[in-house]
Amino acid sequence: MPSCTHRSHIHNVVPRTPNGCEECLKLGDRWVHLRMCLECGHVGCCDSSKNKHATKHFHAVKHPIMRSIEPGESWGWCYIDDMVLDVG
């Protein structure tokens, strides 16, 4: 079974914007779900949101792992390895 090779990028971070997507808040826009970068704490909107800021953050800075910060969810995603992670 394949495993993520980027776990060293997971740090003990806190959300930089605890009340929403960093970019959507600046734009006055809406989001569907929130994701947090586990390298720097950037909070972006998910790919179901029109702006897809979490994925745009990955493409801009290459931080490979994010996690859902939705209540009750403890999964993460490695963009490079294209796989779900248990980051609970």
Spans of all domains in the chain:
7-86
pLDDT at 2 over 90: no
pLDDT score of 69: 95
Cβ-based burial of 33 (10 A; exposed 0-12, middle 13-18, buried ≥19): middle
Q: What are 54-87's pLDDT values in tens digits? A: 999 999 999 999 999 999 999 999 999 999 998 8
Q: Are strands 43-45 and 75-78 parallel, antiparallel or unpaired?
A: unpaired
Q: How does residue 24 score in pLDDT terms, banded at 50, 70 and 90?
A: very high
**CATH, domain range 7-86:** 3.30.40.10
Q: What is the mean pLDDT of the chain?
A: 95
